[in-house]
Amino acid sequence: METDSTHRAFGGTQGIYTHDSEETGTQMRFSVFVPDHDEGAKLPVVWYLSGLTCTHANVTDKGEFRRTCAELGLIFVAPDTSPRGDNVPDEEAYDFGQGAGFYVDATEEPWARNFRMRSYIETELPALIAKEFPVADMERQSITGHSMGGHGALTIALRNPDRFRSVSAFAPIVSPLNCPWGHKALTGYLGTDRSTWRAYDACALIEDGARISGILVDQGEADNFLDEQLKPHLLGEACAKADIPLTLTLRTGYDHSYYFISTFMDAHLRWHAQRLG
């Protein structure tokens, strides 16, 4: 792991780091905020997964999380959304290829070699974070994300209920099986057998028996992707049938941007902190 930069902020250290990933076969960059802490102390972690077109930098620059994380003693980890580089396959599209990894392990060519974001986020990067930072045990972590990253947070938490104490999302893609973004991404990365898509669809995972103690979702009512791509009512229906507590709040006047995310970031972090103990 190489340190690209560090900065003091709100009684903590914001760092940007790079490492060579075995899963993606590329260099990967991520950011970590570590609050000041007593020597030898181990801190809980909140993971944040970003959306389409984003990198670690979007939330790091605009998420407004550091003051609350410093107060609550939370490490905040923000990975990239996909592998990148001249030798990595790409398309001239914002919703597929580089910047749009969808947190899957691709099985279709030419994507299968590099686009292994599920294994990278679930296995490789957590091991690196645990080695290099003062992290509490792997069962004392939480995860959140925005849009495509909200999809990633929900599906990762549902597949790993013993790893995550809590999960939340900002304007998540709740069912890639039922939206154009999902159809394009999952067909391209996984092929046409829709049964293989279910491991990457929060509503399908719940229908298939996945359970978690509760979910927090904020959604802007003025979000221009709300009706066609996000469809939070589908998550509401799935959670109701499975008796999973869901706090879903529609925020009047808010859109899909970081103005929306930064407004409710503090509330999400405090919600996670209560469950992390």
Task: Check if 223 is active-site.
Answer: yes
Task: Check if 147 is active-site.
Answer: yes
Query: Looking at 56, 146, 256, 272, which residue is catalytic?
Result: 256
Neighbours of 226 (CB within 10 A): 18
Kindly report whether the peptide bond that precedes residue 110 is cis, defined as omega within 30 degrees of 0: yes
| C-alpha distances out from residue 41 to 3, 36, 45, 71, 117, Å | 22, 10, 13, 15, 30
Query: Looking at 142, 223, 268, 272, which residue is catalytic?
Result: 223
Task: Check if 19 is active-site.
Answer: no
Query: Looking at 21, 147, 168, 175, which residue is catalytic?
Result: 147
Q: What is the dihedral of CA 28, 267, 143, 41, to 10 degrees?
A: 80
| C-alpha distances out from residue 57 to 80, 109, 140, Å | 8, 29, 25
Helix (H) or strand (E) holding 262: helix 258-276
Task: State how far the Cα of 65 lies from the Cα of 76, in Å rounded to an integer.
Answer: 8
- The residue length of the chain stands at 277
Q: Catalytic amino acids?
A: 147, 223, 256
